[in-house]
Amino acid sequence: MGDDGFDEFYRVTSRRVLRFAYAMVGDAATAQDLTQEAYIRAWRRWSAVSRYERPESWVRVVVARLATDAWRRVRARRRREAELRPPEVFAEPSELTVLLVGELRKLPAQQRHAVCLYYLLDLPVAQVASECGVSQGTVKSWLHRARAMLARQVGQGNPSGRGV
């Protein structure tokens, strides 16, 4: 391959292209990899590249494109890593929240389900009934009993609350 001029082209241009690659990516190892890949591509197409007015410019364009691709891969990897991170830790629940959840656990499961849908998710009685597979009257009865039981447990004595 020495007779076709590639070896001489490489000797004359490779240091400049390597400096260019380093300036593009800011990492010596990556710059060396990009430069090597660009020269491999030039060597494979040398019969065409050698006829260009500025073959070194062609090699630099390849380096620039490879650098851009490398940055895209880094960004994509960082996005994937960010998605794989554990979720943020929530603040500790307040004393009132701990008390309320403890009292909710004492309710029968159906009443607790209705209370959570109605009060925590603000669903209308009709939607709570639909989700629970019961009539609206049954949901209203569950909510009334749950409020009365929670009022007794918490010691407020006021079973009213949000009207049903």
Residue 160 has pLDDT above 80, yes or no: no
Mark whether 107 and 52 lie in a shared domain: no
**Confidence at 162, pLDDT banded by 50, 70, 90:** low
The H-assigned helical ranges of 45-156 are 46-49, 55-84, 95-106, 109-115, 125-132, 136-154
Tell me, yes or no, whether 54 and 123 share the same domain.
no
Range of the domain at 121: 95-154
Measured CA distances, 59 to 2, 15, 90 (Å): 19, 12, 52
Q: Does a structural domain hold residue 37?
A: yes
Give mean pLDDT, residues 153-164. Answer: 57
In this predicted structure, the answer to whether residue 62 has a pLDDT above a threshold of 70 is: yes
Question: What's the mean pLDDT in 21-33?
Answer: 91
Looking at every residue in the chain, the average pLDDT score rounds to 87
CA distance linking residue 114 with residue 128, whole number of Å = 6
Q: Same domain for 100 and 79?
A: no
Instruction: Show Cβ contacts of residue 92 under 8 Å, excluding neighbours closer than 6 positions.
Output: none
pLDDT over 50 at 2, yes or no: no
Number of domains present in the structure of the chain: 2
Output the domain CATH number for residue 129: 1.10.10.10
Phi, psi of 156 (to 5 degrees): -85, -30
**Domain termination site, one of 39, 58, 84:** 84
- This prediction's pTM: 0.49
Pair 20, 79 in one domain: yes
